[in-house]
């Protein structure tokens, strides 16, 4: 996962190969690491953001976007779905200022329609089963 915001890039480490023997038994270990690269005109600095709450389960193949609300105006990373051995249908909000992550919603049906207001709508999921 890579998400760019003004003056910073977030990088999530997703999974790692673990080999028991050479070219045999390749296993994956899902990771839940988050890194940030702050870049300025002449310098770059890596950091590991301290998360002050319970993070979401490890995952791969998820979506992540940067969002700043018009009314609230607080920067967030919004994470949806992915897999960690099975399909995930959860929606998380990581508040960058307070370093707190919240579970917003869990979708039981992966073809769930979700509406924000009367002028906008968002579809989550793509499974047809």
Give the Å distances, CA to CA, from 29 to 6, 115, 123: 31, 35, 30
Distance from the Cα of residue 66 to its chain's centroid: 10
Work out the angle at residue 34's Cα, subtended by the Cα atoms of residues 18 and 65, and round it to the nearest 5 degrees. Answer: 115
Which pLDDT tens digits describe the chain residue by residue (129 residues)? 788 888 888 888 666 655 555 555 566 677 778 889 998 888 899 988 888 888 888 888 888 889 888 888 889 999 988 888 888 888 999 998 888 889 988 876 555 445 445 555 555 555 444
DSSP one-letter string for 74-96? -EEEEEEEEESSSEEEEEEEEET
Pairwise CA distance, residues 43 & 125, whole Å: 39
């Amino acid at each position: 996962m890579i998400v760019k915001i003004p003056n910073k890039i977030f990088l999530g480490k997703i999974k790692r190969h673990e080999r028991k023997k050479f070219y045999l038994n390749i296993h994956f270990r899902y990771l839940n690491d988050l890194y940030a690269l702050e870049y300025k005109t002449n310098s770059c600095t890596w950091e590991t953001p301290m998360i002050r709450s319970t993070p979401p389960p490890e995952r791969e193949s998820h979506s992540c976007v940067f969002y700043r609300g018009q009314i609230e105006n607080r920067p967030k990373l919004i994470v949806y779905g992915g897999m960690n051995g099975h399909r995930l249908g959860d929606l998380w909000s990581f508040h960058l200022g307070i370093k707190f992550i919240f579970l917003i919603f869990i979708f039981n049906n992966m073809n769930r329609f979700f509406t924000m207001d009367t002028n906008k709508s968002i579809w989550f999921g793509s499974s047809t089963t």
